[in-house]
Every structure is written in C-alpha cells, then in structure tokens.
Structure 1
Amino acid sequence: MARALSRAAPRRSLELGRARLPGAATAGDLRGAPTERSSPMRRLAVSVVVCTRNRAPLLERACRSVLDDPGGGVDWELLVVDNASTDETAALLARLATEYPERVRSVEEPVLGLARARNSGIEHCRGEIVAFLDDDAEAEPGWVEAVERLLRSSGADAVGGPVQPILGGELPEWFCGSLLQYITVWDLGDTVRDLTGPEFPRGTNMAFLRECLVEGSGFSEHLGRRGTNLLSCEETELFARLVRSGRRIVYGPQPVVRHRVPAERLRWSFLARRFFAQGVSEAILDWQLDGRAGLEAGWRRQVGYAVGVDTTSQWWSKSRNLLRRFSLVGYAFGAVRTRWILAAAKPGSADGERAMRRRSSEPQPPAGEKTSP
C-alpha cells in the first residue's frame, strides 16, 4: 500500500463503486443546514450507520451503546441498513423506531455485501458526517460527540479511532503482535496524527464528511464481506483514493469502540482462512488502484512478506510464518482471478465492471460461520 499511495493521480472513483452516489440534495444536516463547514465552532450533524445481517442480539447492543448516550449536544441520527436479514432484525428495528421515533431509521438493502450496505447507508443518511459502527461492536460513552469533535476540530475529511477487543475466549500465547490486526484490534496511541498510508482507520470505527463520500462514489463493491466470505480492504481502498485526491485522514485517541471477537476467531483455523482472504483482497485492491503494475508490485511485496520472516525455533513464530504463506497463496489466487476476469478490460472500465459483477463468486470458508454482511 505504501507503494500504491505514492503513485500518480487518482481516477474518478465513479468507476469503482456500484454507481454514482446521490448528490448533495440530501447531504445537509438533520435540520437542513448547509453542508460546508462555515465555522469551526458550528456543530456538524452526524448520521451513525450500522450495517447488519442476522445478528439481532448483537445489533441491539450496538444500537443501544449509541442510543443510551445523549450525544453531548450533537444533532445526530441512527440509520440501520438491514442487509437481507432473516432473523429477528426487522422486529428489533421496529421496536427501536418506536422507542426513539426521532432518532432511529432503517432501510433495507437486499443485495448482499457489506460494501453495498454501506453505500446504501451513505445514500439514505441525512448528516454532514457519516460515522460507521459495526453490528458486533459497541461505542464507548461520548462516541458520537468525539467523532464530531475530531472531524470538526482537525479539519479532516475522514477520521478513525482505537478499536479495543471484547474477547469471547482466552487469547492464545502465539496470538500477539501483528496478528491482532486480523481480529480488528487497532490503537495508534494517545496523539492525534495524520494518516497517509498504509495505515488507515478500521471499518468499525471510521467517520467521513458525507460530501467526500458522495464525490468519491463510496466503497468498492468488489471488496469486503459478502455472505460467509472473509474478503476485506474496502475501506482501505476508499481511504487510498481519498488520500490520492488530496483528502485528509486523521487518527485520534477518541472516539473509541469495543469490538466483539468470538472464540472461533482466536483459532489457527480461522486465521488460515483470514490470511488467504486477505491475500485475495489485496490482489483486487492493487488491481483497482494501479492495474497490472499494481499486481506486479503487490506480488513482489507478498513474496517478500512470506519468505522474509524470522526463523526462530518458537512454535508460535513458525505458525505465523505459515500464515503469511497462506496470504501469498491467496494473493496469487486473487491476482489470477482478477486478471482473468478483466483480461480484456482496463481497470475501472465499463467492461471490467460488468465482468466483475458477472463473476462475483468468492472463495468461501466452511459453511456455518457467520460473518459481517
């Protein structure tokens, strides 16, 4: 990613998402104020977007972690995007809308995919700021106010904060260091700082000015969770495009969210699937950002990552080394698949978009594992 971000100017991101997102007609705050930040003292309205699929009990905890917080005087709404749930999600959303009629809204997105659901949230939200919270996460007290304050005071276009784990089991001895990022544990410390890549905010605790999402056409729907797959990088791809277009990304120690990590995600078998999917995701990401040159540079990076590791005798170190090789295999799979599908199309072309939609099947983990939409 460091290589990708240093390359030349961006293409219009219209070519990467589902379609051009709606214009500024609905981008004002919840009371209809203009979208421009005319004064650093003026509070910005916030739309909290939670995308969900078949996680009603966890969704309720996520929603109430926000609804139980007064918001510190910030004008805000909660928008839940139901991504084809078949459990009790609809009943829960109806109940929350009755309890909080001026605060809670929901929309249905029948097409499966986390990126698709997030784009639907962008289309339907009303706030000047769009803040994303996962359905298996809980916001710390003061989260909405902290999101608004960081974006407004920093003058950034997008921000993110720490993600702390709520572990569903004991963390194995070998599960440490860089492996923690694969269960979405993320913390860059107590100092506000600019992010230009390759490190970017995590999807469960990120917020944007809505106008930059509209201009950038939102998230690429070729990436991210869909059904039971473990693909990712849709937020990384968006942040990379924003940086290339001159937008500013900022990390702050506040806001903070806590993310649930079930016991099965602390097992080596899950990490093997996760590393493979990460490799596939990075191949698609490199193609979308830089085409053939991106894939070639990405392959060299992956090979170096897989072979340039420590060779100590500890068994957990050897396990991490093997996981890196799963990522390399995944990257090779993703590169071959992407180049095969788009062999006759340039990155971002209409032919390429149609081909990617026709060939949307992704490698699947064993049946029964629930993931984000």
Structure 2
Amino acid sequence: PTPPLPRATVVVATRERAGQLARALDSLLAQDHPDFQVLVVDNAPVTTATRDLVQGRYAGRVDYVLEPVPGLAVAHNRGVAAARGEVLAFTDDDVVADPHWLTALTEPFAADPRLGCVTGLILPARLTTPAQILLESHGGFAKGFTQRLYDPAAPPADEPLFPFTAGSFGSGANMAFRAQVLASVGGFDPATGTGTPARGGDDLYAFVRVLSAGHRLRYTPGALVWHHHRETWEDLRNQAYGYGAGLTAYLTAILVRRPALLPSLLRKLPRGLAHARTITAHRAGPDGGAAPGGGPAGG
C-alpha cells in the first residue's frame, strides 16, 4: 500500500505585495493534499496590507505571523518555528502552484526515510516582455523535466563539484524539507537571503548542508509552480545582481561557518574547473568565440 502523505506546512514569506500574495494563496488553498497548513510570514512590513488580507479574506484558512527583522532566511526561520507540519514546503508570493504541487512535493518523503529535501519544477507564468523572455532563454528557474536523486553516498559523475553545485538542485520558490532534518542543520542562515546585504544564497546553503549531513535530495518535476518573472530590464538586472551576490554569500558561508567542508571543496575544484571549461568550449562558436545571442543593449 502507498504510505500516507506526511502532514505539510507551506511557508510563504512576503513583504508589501498583497496583490501578488492573494493570487499565490488562492492556488495554495486549492491543493489536493489531504492535510496541510498555509502560513504567511509578513517580513518587516511598513503597512498592514498583508495582515489585513490574511486575517480578513483568508481568516481561518491561512495562518499569519510577523517577522520584523528584514531578510528571507530570517522570515523562513520564523515560519519554521510556527509550522506544524512534518514536511515544510517553501514557495514565493509571485508564484501560482499547480493543484497537485504539494502532493507531488511531499510524496517522496513518505517513500524514502533518507530523504531530507525535495525540489520541484518552476516554469514561467507568462512570457510577454523581452526581459521575461531573456531570463527563460537562459534557463530561467527550471532544472529540467527528468526526476533526479542526489545521494551523498553516490555522488553524480557529471557533477564533479557535488554537493557544492547547489544551483543545479533547485530553487527557493519550490522546495521542501523534512522538518527534523532542517532543524538538525540549523535552519536557514539569517545572514543570507533576499532583504539582507547577501541578497540570496539561503536556499543553496540549506541544500548543501542537508546533503553534507548525509541526507538525500530529490528533484521532482511533477511538483510544479508557475513563476511570474520580472517584467522590466531594470528589475531583471537587479534580480541577476542579487543572484550573483547570493552565490558569493553562499560560498562565503561555507568558508566561514562550515570550514570542515573546505578541504572537500578544494579537492574537487580542479575537476570542477576542467568540467566547466569543457562545457564552455562546447557552447562556443566554431571560431572559439561566444555563440550568437546576447542580452539587452547595455549602457
């Protein structure tokens, strides 16, 4: 018989985006999972719009907590503290979740006790502006349509830097953790995430810590959310800068907070760089230059 689905909590951290949040909450309340809690974390608000929305339109259906300290990781940790689920799922206020999303995201935990984290597929909700199209043409947030299991006991041959290639595992807008596992690795690093000087890296650092602790991570594209990409060049540039800063913060966090991981990273670096050079050469044009294409006109 199929094992019962674990009780789940969906945590959505938000800041002054009540219109987008309502769209996300409507999709979350339509999930086909039999036993789940939806929890909104109001992060460093300057108005009462989010609280009014949750405690008004969604009263009795969505739980509300306030986190006055800005930062996505801090907000997520506040949500973790208030969550009642055995599995903690995280998504953003700018997504629409497929009705089967939460079921698909939590099913693997019931079948595999060694699983610490599951991530899912993120597709664009619409592609109407050049900035949205550019982001998606460079891969967007999608990690492919093939299910994949990452096991620290059997590192993947095609990822010589594993588990430090955290960007290939998934994204913070579509991820879930076994509550006990997330607690055992210390939750999210409050120095990382949107709303902090780091501007990101909280999800990547959590993935690496879960894998480094010996737990498996599964990518399951059947767990689908639709993401509303940034519409303007300025917003896209800011987002790209934030991701770069977040990646730097994640690597810095490994060096500073987890120095025991450093020897493993340094051992794998030569093979990782060689692998990257091979990929770059494959993508280059026949004359050795970059393949045609490019981003928005600079200036």
Pairwise TM-score range, normalised by the shorter structure: 0.7 to 0.9
Which residue of structure 2 lines up, in the alignment, with residue 78 of structure 1?
38
C-alpha separation between the residues in 2 aligned to 1:313 and 1:188? 24
C-alpha separation between the residues in 2 aligned to 1:266 and 1:154? 43
Counterpart selection for 1:218 from 187, 195, 198: 187
C-alpha separation between the residues in 1 aligned to 2:247 and 2:173? 21
Paired residues of 2:199 and 2:243 also in contact (CA < 8 A): no
Which residue of structure 2 lines up, in the alignment, with residue 15 of structure 1?
none
Whichever residue aligns with residue 230 of structure 2, its letter is P
Q: Trace 1:190-209 onto structure 2 (pairs within 5 A).
A: 190-194=146-150, 197=163, 198=165, 199-209=168-178
- Could you give the per-residue CA deviations for residues 172-192 of structure 1, whole angstroms, max 9, x where no partner exists? 776566x334xxx21332334
C-alpha separation between the residues in 1 aligned to 2:151 and 2:124? 22
Counterpart selection for 1:127 from 63, 66, 85: 85
Which residue of structure 2 lines up, in the alignment, with residue 260 of structure 1?
228
1:42 aligns with 2:4: yes
The Cα of 1:279 is off from its aligned counterpart by: 5.1
More strand as a share of residues: 2
The Cα of 1:231 is off from its aligned counterpart by: 2.1
Whichever residue aligns with residue 63 of structure 2, its letter is R
Counterpart selection for 2:120 from 137, 158, 161: 161
Question: Partner of 1:65: helix, strand, or coil?
Answer: helix
C-alpha separation between the residues in 2 aligned to 1:271 and 1:46? 30
Paired residues of 2:41 and 2:64 also in contact (CA < 8 A): yes
Paired residues of 1:162 and 1:253 also in contact (CA < 8 A): yes
The Cα of 1:85 is off from its aligned counterpart by: 1.9
Q: Describe the shift of the 1:147–1:312 C-alpha distance in structure 2 as closer, same or farther (beyond 3 A).
A: same
Which residue of structure 2 lines up, in the alignment, with residue 115 of structure 1?
73
The Cα of 1:143 is off from its aligned counterpart by: 1.6
Figure out how many residues of one structure are paired with residues of the other and give that number: 271
Q: Describe the shift of the 1:137–1:230 C-alpha distance in structure 2 as closer, same or farther (beyond 3 A).
A: farther
Paired residues of 2:119 and 2:171 also in contact (CA < 8 A): yes
Whichever residue aligns with residue 118 of structure 2, its letter is V
Which residue of structure 2 lines up, in the alignment, with residue 146 of structure 1?
104
Identity of counterpart residues, as a percentage?
26
Which residue of structure 2 lines up, in the alignment, with residue 11 of structure 1?
none
Paired residues of 2:148 and 2:218 also in contact (CA < 8 A): yes
**Aligned CA-pair RMSD:** 3.5
- Could you give the per-residue CA deviations for residues 254-291 of structure 1, whole angstroms, max 9, x where no partner exists? 21111111212587744663464245324423423338
Whichever residue aligns with residue 149 of structure 1, its letter is E
C-alpha separation between the residues in 2 aligned to 1:158 and 1:279? 20
- 5+ residue gaps, structure 2, are 153-162
The Cα of 1:251 is off from its aligned counterpart by: 1.2
Which residue of structure 1 lines up, in the alignment, with residue 258 of structure 2?
289
Whichever residue aligns with residue 233 of structure 1, its letter is G
Question: Partner of 2:191: helix, strand, or coil?
Answer: coil
Which residue of structure 2 lines up, in the alignment, with residue 95 of structure 1?
56
Whichever residue aligns with residue 90 of structure 1, its letter is R
Paired residues of 2:193 and 2:246 also in contact (CA < 8 A): no
Question: Partner of 1:161: helix, strand, or coil?
Answer: strand
Q: Describe the shift of the 1:278–1:265 C-alpha distance in structure 2 as closer, same or farther (beyond 3 A).
A: farther
Which residue of structure 2 lines up, in the alignment, with residue 35 of structure 1?
none
Paired residues of 1:163 and 1:186 also in contact (CA < 8 A): yes
C-alpha separation between the residues in 2 aligned to 1:262 and 1:268? 6
Q: Describe the shift of the 1:168–1:234 C-alpha distance in structure 2 as closer, same or farther (beyond 3 A).
A: farther
The Cα of 1:116 is off from its aligned counterpart by: 0.2
The Cα of 1:138 is off from its aligned counterpart by: 1.3
Q: Describe the shift of the 1:125–1:299 C-alpha distance in structure 2 as closer, same or farther (beyond 3 A).
A: same
Whichever residue aligns with residue 258 of structure 2, its letter is L
C-alpha separation between the residues in 1 aligned to 2:259 and 2:130? 41
Paired residues of 1:233 and 1:285 also in contact (CA < 8 A): no
Question: Partner of 2:226: helix, strand, or coil?
Answer: strand
Question: Partner of 2:139: helix, strand, or coil?
Answer: helix
Question: Partner of 1:255: helix, strand, or coil?
Answer: strand
